[in-house]
Structure 1
């Protein structure tokens, strides 16, 4: 089963037993970034410097990506370009909900609803199909810990995880120095065409900038 980069980030963040999401705010940036990167790889969006441009609105064949693409088209309001940070800031919380819904539709997780203390509604997403996550973690381990050469999608996923500082979600059992060092190496490596690597670098910068702006606004 092929799931998107955004869903892979989301899956890594969910506790296998309780189904609760960890590091939700940072995950939100990575999930939104994952959607955007998928659209770049699919040739629907270009990211250059601080700007993104919608270049093709035809269907990708994936419901999650197509829903975000439609929202982005509306958000662009006919403009040629808009800031990457603005889109990521707008989409990060909504992209999480969309990724969770997509994982449920695919049968990877199931949604459970209950009330905490009998009053407050709580949603959890425990795993229904553990094969998808096991294969994902094996792929990451092969590249990050065993030194295998990444394909474009795996390298893109690693770059997203590294940018959002989600190393512990991918590797909860330690190896922190090795993980951080190798992920940084992959994120800046020669694993894809220069246009895609440039887009990743610009998205990483946008994610950092958006996070700083959000933190500053919350503290003011």
Structure 2
């Protein structure tokens, strides 16, 4: 993929024509994708083979404004944290999705569209240039079908998009149905992502599960 993992997930999480959000817990997917990218760019390194905790070893700019922002957040939290802790502190930033969207606006991929209703105001991000997402979707379709070798970025994007409902929103149902077992194996790491990348993906899955449980518990208590 030529897009970063968070960029790919951001595009999948927006309806192309209106820019409205789709999918669930996308903030966690963006956070996990950022963590994988920072591992691949050697800003974060596992403390040991188990890769339960990560050391922040390089805070120099990555050249990507969104990743640099995430790197600054992790630096403020300190080195030696678990993947789950890093994912949660990034996903807890209320402006996380907006920051990635604005980065894509600056690149000419998305555009900002202000919306309002009564006293409420918000911003949608429809596509300005559809080519990057179209190429990314075509690439991931081949990856899902097993027609090309999977990169770590491909594995992370597929696993995170699956867990947040974004595969169902963007890919052909027949393709997903025919490759259901393969997608499941990718999400579980059977297709061979690095241990560090897999722990970042697992951290997202665990965080989503915890958030879902918290929402359910809150609903039950209020009922």
TM-score range, shorter chain: 0.7 to 0.9
SS of corresponding position for 2:25: helix
- Greater length-normalized contact order (CA 8 Å, ≥ 6 residues apart): 2
Q: Structure 1 residues 127, 62: closer, same or farther in 2, change over 3 A?
A: same
In the alignment, which residue of structure 2 is the partner of 1:133?
133
Q: CA deviation at 1:30?
A: 0.9
1:81 aligns with 2:80: yes
CA distance in 1, matches of 2:177, 2:198: 22
When structure 1 is superposed on structure 2, of 53-62 and 167-176 the one drifting more is: 167-176
Q: CA deviation at 1:178?
A: 2.5
* Partners of 1:19 and 1:127 within 8 A in 2: yes
1:113 aligns with 2:114: yes
In the alignment, which residue of structure 2 is the partner of 1:61?
63
Q: Deviations over 1:108-130 (max 9, x none)?
A: 010100212x4321311111001
TM-score (norm 2): 0.84
SS of corresponding position for 2:147: coil
1:52 aligns with 2:57: no
Gaps of at least 5 residues in structure 2 are 219-223
Gaps of at least 5 residues in structure 1 are none
In the alignment, which residue of structure 2 is the partner of 1:90?
89
CA distance in 1, matches of 2:80, 2:198: 18
CA distance in 1, matches of 2:163, 2:45: 19
CA distance in 2, matches of 1:40, 1:213: 24
TM-score (norm 1): 0.85
Pick from 206, 211, 215: which aligns with 2:212? Answer: 215
Q: Deviations over 1:19-48 (max 9, x none)?
A: 10102x421111111111100000001245
Q: Structure 1 residues 30, 45: closer, same or farther in 2, change over 3 A?
A: same
Q: Structure 1 residues 202, 191: closer, same or farther in 2, change over 3 A?
A: closer
Stretches of 4+ moved more than 6 A in 1?
none
Q: Structure 1 residues 51, 146: closer, same or farther in 2, change over 3 A?
A: closer
In the alignment, which residue of structure 2 is the partner of 1:11?
11
